[in-house]
Amino acid sequence: MRGDRGDRGPDRPDRACADGAHRLEARGDRRTGSLTLRPGDGPAADRQVRIYEVGPRDGLQNESHRIPTEGKLEFIRLLAAAGLTEIEATSFVRPSAIPQLADADQVVRGLERRPGLRYPVLVPNERGMTRAEAAGASALAVFTAASDAFTEHNIGLTIAESLAAFRPVLVRATELGWWRRAYVSTAFGCPYLGRIAPRAAIEVALRLVELGAEEICFGDTIGVAVPDQVEELTELAIAAGLVPERIAYHFHDTRGTALANVAAGLRAGIRTFDASTGGTGGCPYAPGAAGNLATEDLVYFLDASGWIHGVRLAGVLDAARFIAGLLGRPLASKVGQAGGWDPTTGAALPRP
């Protein structure tokens, strides 16, 4: 995940929320049964998974090959046609910092609006919020990390300074009735400090909730997490007061563990996962980080495991093929290369 060194907030927070005041109230029981579900196993609500698509923003932000605004809008249209209902569309960081997303205003104005579709945008500070509001956005995400070393490399701010920058953004978004997400990057490991203790990530998450975030997304920014660590962080986060339904995970597949980590998150009771169609994305401040978990790989996995999500694999592959063509390279995802599979006939489905 990338920010902008020029997007600095002027104020520091008055106090750190060390005691987790205003923590989200936990609801319901966590499900820790078998990952693979058969039709009729358990209540339908517990088998429902949200797929949060980050391809148009996180997937494209570090690409040097410039994608035209019309191409981005067509990519988003194809994602929505595939059944994805939450699509992070762009970022309102300083245009010179991320030239690929310099057309954020035009992208948001060009989105096809219809009931049930949400297009969050990344907003780093009040300047970005002003632009996002003028363009017609209605949902946002803010971003920080569990490591001061990473935030200083990524956005030129300490964690405390980034929280100060987000405070007026989240206040304004709340006044407008916008949906509000907050990312906690390097939740498992930092390229500059090494292993991150779970409680460090949770403490940042609790501060973000105090500021008005409705959903917390823990990011495995450099792809070092393994399933046991995902379950540990989830258990501790819920014990600290975070609501399972408002926790999401953003896994990078750097070391091939992304789907295993999704499985661990599901066992621990989490039902929201980020993914990037085509497997595009990475972090310029995370040395060696590979792309995000591919949406097509996630959809195939969830389908085969009996989870309900409302996204069509064929449609996702259409979108993946489209964006790969614009980027001028073949798909790198496993399902993108192999195609799907029909379990009723044993036949491989056409590859994109």
Catalytic positions are 283
Contact predicate 164/172, CB 8 Å: no
Q: Is the four-CA dihedral 72, 274, 277, 97 of positive or negative sign?
A: positive
DSSP letters, 252-313, are B-TTS-HHHHHHHHHHTT--EEEEBGGG----TTSTT--PBPBHHHHHHHHHHHT-B----H
Query: Residue 261: exposed, middle, or buried by beta-carbon count in 10 A (0-12, 13-18, 19+)?
Result: buried
Q: How far apart are the first and last CA of the chain?
A: 27
Euclidean distance between CA atoms 348 and 53, whole angstroms: 25
Which of 46, 51, 124 has its CA nearest to residue 295? Answer: 51
Q: Pull the structure tokens for residue 165.
A: 């920058």
Tell me 28's DSSP state.
S
Query: What distance lies between CA 10 and its chain's CA centroid?
Result: 27
Q: Pull the structure tokens for residue 64.
A: 């040097």
DSSP letters, 149-170, are HHHHHHHSS-HHHHHHHHHHHH
SS3 assignment, position 215: strand
Euclidean distance between CA atoms 311 and 165, whole angstroms: 35
Cβ contacts of 197 within 8 Å, gap of 6 or more: none
Euclidean distance between CA atoms 26 and 23, whole angstroms: 9
Cβ contacts of 15 within 8 Å, gap of 6 or more: none
